[in-house]
Amino acid sequence: MDEQPATENAFTYSPPTLNQLQSDNDECDSIEKALCTPCEQQIFLSTAQVQYGLFDVCDKYNVILAKEDDKLKLFNHQKQIDERPWGEVGRNNYATCIHWCSFLDIFLILYRFKLYTLSLKRNSKTSELKFDDLKMVSSIRVYSLKHDTTQRAGNATELLRFLTTSPGLSGYLYLNRGYRRIELVNTNSWRSQRGWSKFDLDYGERDEIRSIKLSYEGTYLAMNIQWNMIVWILLTYEHMMIN
């Protein structure tokens, strides 16, 4: 990667402290113990889409939401408990990310062109969870890159690809548009508060911004950047605060 001068919005990396390293080791020990624990239950999901992360787990209600072909399916730890058809079959039916948002108490379902919210409700008679409202967030949608200097072609569009939230950053989410841009979105208004292009992050035209994850406390943002090969970049959050 060619060296470029840092920009005002560029991220910087801070080495982890000893306490953070010790905490990470504790987490690794817990993960190792969990991996050595026998499996109690398996749920078979037939579609290849699930291999690419089109599901998420809701810890609050202990359920899993997954997309299979033209359906959204809800599972508890033993069985499927609900399903609903999903719109058009084919290209426009292609989802890119499902994410449980704890501070909004909803699932966020990201498609290539739009963002949807899906809430759950509990059956008063059986106490079993079911799907509730599915709504489109009209302000989050694909737009043309016609006037964007980072475009590769005149008809390029910023397809919606990944999003992430953190309970430690209540009210906000990060949205990945295409391979070039990350936006900080205020969920109270569902509008972009601030954005960063890959040039702000000192990456070149051929590089790609891929999946993004935010730590539980909202301290670190990790992004999967493709630069010659796929690498993980750990970035400090302090430069991403709203001015």
Give me the pLDDT at residue 155, please: 57
Residue whose token pair is 């953070």: 20
For residue 162, give the amino acid letter: F
Kindly tell me if the per-residue pLDDT of 199 is higher than 90: no
For residue 119, give the amino acid letter: S
pLDDT in tens, 41-58: 777 776 666 666 788 999
- Give the predicted TM-score (pTM) of the model: 0.75
Give me the pLDDT at residue 143, please: 77
pLDDT confidence bin for 231, thresholds 50/70/90: low
pLDDT in tens, 135-193: 999 999 887 765 554 444 445 678 898 999 988 888 999 999 888 888 999 999 999 88
DSSP class of 112: S
Ramachandran bin of 87, using left for φ above 0, alpha for ψ from -120 to 50, beta for the remaining angles: left
Give me the pLDDT at residue 232, please: 61
Give me the pLDDT at residue 32, please: 77
